Structure 1
């Protein structure tokens, strides 16, 4: 990192204005020229600015520091322990933050990924905004990670279209630089996951198979299992059920070999969806129940997903008593966390609560006024099909046939968009 952008980054991180930093050292306009690389300041000016910022300038790059940072960069995958990742970060942060080092820009970019792994989404956004100010100084290697980790952020906040756009830019940069085989495989896997969220099935199969080939060569069987799950989801969506089941079985086999209970239960969730799509309600219920019985294996998102899936299956089979129990359990879980992060599941639970309690006015005002507009904004056509049909059926049951036709048309339109994807 050049000295001007370095000074700018630390000023922004410390919430200092150019006027505050420049005071007593240089003019505000001259500081702006330094930060934007339009002039070469003297060593004395650099030292005074850095002293005011509380950072030191090292004479030469610390090779050991570079190696330690690379070790930490390599740890930034969900399969590694959050505690180990955090301990390594704490070890590096003070050294990096207080010294001018060419390693710092990569460290700062990787902090986006770190905050996302630690579930500190707001800090990740703040880091993105801080780095945006100096991103025009990044070289191609830095730009690769900048695009990739911004894509990670957009994926976490469920802006999947923007995420895939950034991943494609990262993919272009990857063709211009030298990255490790593991890094190349991770980008392919990440793109497969994002394409799955967008229901672009052919792209999922393509990228998942490429990632699977790379992970197989490196004996990364946990990632292999995750790729098989993605392939299973894709084949289930295009109703090639035998291939879907084959991939789920391979995923479970690898997960059991590596004693990864979370992957075993994630496979059960997806098997539940497969049986649900085939209309085998009881088998679907059995799969989702097995997941909930293993409380320690899954995170909150997977538990809520299992609960809402059970709500749907019980509702579909007219077992309203069990459906209500699951709605209650889901709401209890959501009350303990940030609902904004799980807005979709909150909307689903509210929809079924109103439907089960036959609160027709609340059902109509909420689903039509909030849930369906939310799904339209997200371009979530798969769920638009489900809930537009649900509203259409509701209006048909109360003999409002004109309104029923309107929502059946929306369901058909959404299905057409889904096929087009």
Structure 2
């Protein structure tokens, strides 16, 4: 990075306005020209800017430390492959401390990208990640293919974590365009296939999700990364289940369960039991479904994990018209909302508000559904738009409001078309 870019990056990192940094040194427009690489500041101005930024003057003498970058990247590979949160925290702190000592390290942009990617694995980093993304996006034009690969991957993961699945898939699709100009290593390709399969699965794009997760699984098996292989098997099983390949799905889940037992790991018990619950729910084996959902909930610790299964228990009891138990799990879910991440809190509050309206048969049910549908549509979550349109239409039809029911049946079908990524019903064939 050039001197001007490094000044800009450090200024933004310190939340400093151009006007403040330039005050008493130069006019803001001149500082802007420095930051955009249009002029090279004199040594005197450079020193005054560094003093204002509280950066040692000898930082300007920083040279490219390629060995340090190689070391960080090697550790980064290990962290991403193993999903080890403690190692992620250690490496993130090491990179941060190194940058604090070498704020004008020419590889600063790459190091900020690595640090931000590691933060995605750590709790309570949302505000810093958002701030870093604003800074990084501002340097997008100056990024090389490798840096763009990191940036789009980070943006895709953030979108996925915010339940913006369609947007996440768009970011990952952009990453794939860089494969031609940036030769990705096998581990990077495996990670890209893995995170893309998650996003595609959330969009109900099952065929491509299966292809991607199988590619990731092949690498993880080859490298004997057993826990990553289990993760892939769970994704594969979900995709198989949702495409109707139920026997294959059950075999995949059982395989994941067997491997997890062999390595004496309880980390995946909650996920596997949950998906066995959804498998039996499809087969209308309600007793078995509830058994596995309760097992899943017992194995989960974190509120953001528990809420998924609590919601499934609510749905399952509602489906069998056991409204008393449905009310119990609705209340449990609502009580857990304040412990969730901001994105999940909004996402599940919408779901619970809809089920409250259905269970208690509230008078303003259409208004409530309209509000929730607007939220899901804004987030391009056409799957839930389609589901809830059909739920509302069925209720309206049962209440003999056939005209309104027809409107929502049609609206649900239109959302299904959007979800399927087609422009008209003819393309569904």
TM beyond 0.5: yes
| Deviates most, 371-380 or 237-246 | 371-380
Deviation, 1:237, is 1.5
Match of 1:186 in 2: 191
Matching of residues 331-370 of structure 1 within 5 Å: 331-338=334-341, 340-359=343-362, 361-367=363-369, 369-370=370-371
8 Å CA contact 2:280, 2:288 repeated in 1: yes
Match of 2:30 in 1: 30
The structure, 1 or 2, with the larger RCO (C-alpha pairs under 8 Å, 6+ apart) is 2
Match of 1:52 in 2: 52
8 Å CA contact 2:297, 2:309 repeated in 1: yes
Q: How many residues align?
A: 417
Deviation, 1:333, is 1.1
Residues 160-202 of structure 1: per-residue CA shift (max 9 Å, x gap): 2222222222222233224332122101111111111111111
Match of 1:108 in 2: 112
Deviation, 1:204, is 0.4
* 1:98–1:309 Cα change, 3 Å: same
Matching of residues 15-26 of structure 1 within 5 Å: 15-26=15-26
* 1:23–1:414 Cα change, 3 Å: closer
Write the distance in 2 (CA, Å) between the matches of 1:223 and 1:123.
Answer: 27
Match of 2:425 in 1: none
Matching of residues 228-307 of structure 1 within 5 Å: 228-296=233-301, 299-307=302-310
Match of 2:39 in 1: 39
Residues 336-356 of structure 1: per-residue CA shift (max 9 Å, x gap): 335543323222222222322
Write the distance in 2 (CA, Å) between the matches of 1:151 and 1:58.
Answer: 36
Write the distance in 2 (CA, Å) between the matches of 1:138 and 1:150.
Answer: 15
Residues 2-31 of structure 1: per-residue CA shift (max 9 Å, x gap): 211110111112222223223343443332
Alignment TM-score, normalising by the size of structure 2 = 0.89
What 5-or-longer segments of structure 1 have no aligned partner? none
Write the distance in 1 (CA, Å) between the matches of 2:64 and 2:413.
Answer: 61
State the superposition RMSD in angstroms: 2.4
8 Å CA contact 2:383, 2:416 repeated in 1: yes
What 5-or-longer segments of structure 2 have no aligned partner? 423-429
Match of 2:399 in 1: 398
| Deviates most, 98-107 or 373-382 | 373-382
Write the distance in 1 (CA, Å) between the matches of 2:66 and 2:383.
Answer: 51
Alignment TM-score, normalising by the size of structure 1 = 0.91
- 1:152 maps to 2:154: no
8 Å CA contact 2:163, 2:343 repeated in 1: no
8 Å CA contact 1:54, 1:98 repeated in 2: no
* 1:164–1:408 Cα change, 3 Å: closer
SS of residue paired to 1:57 = helix
8 Å CA contact 1:339, 1:346 repeated in 2: no
8 Å CA contact 1:8, 1:134 repeated in 2: no
